Structure 1
Amino acid sequence: MLTVNVAVLLAAVVVARLCRRTQARSRTDEKVTVVLVLALGVLIAPTPVGQALFTALGELAHGVTRAGQ
Structure 2
Amino acid sequence: MLTINVAFLLVIVVVWRLRRRTEARSRFDEKMTAVIVLALGVLIAPTRVGQGILNVLGQLASGVTHAGR
TM range, normalised to the smaller chain? over 0.9
Aligned residues: 69
CA distance in 1, matches of 2:22, 2:63: 33
CA distance in 2, matches of 1:38, 1:51: 16
Hey, what does 1:63 align to over in structure 2?
A: 63
Unpaired segments of 5 or more residues in structure 2?
none
TM-score calculated relative to the size of structure 1:
0.98
Are 2:48 and 1:18 equivalent residues in the alignment? no
How far 1:49 sits from its partner (Å)?
A: 0.3
Residue 18 of structure 1 aligns with an amino acid whose one-letter code is: L
Are 2:36 and 1:41 equivalent residues in the alignment? no
Percentage of matched positions with identical amino acids: 70
CA distance in 2, matches of 1:11, 1:34: 13
Q: After TM superposition, which residue ranges in structure 1, 4 or more long, deviate above 2 angstroms?
A: none
How far 1:43 sits from its partner (Å)?
A: 0.3
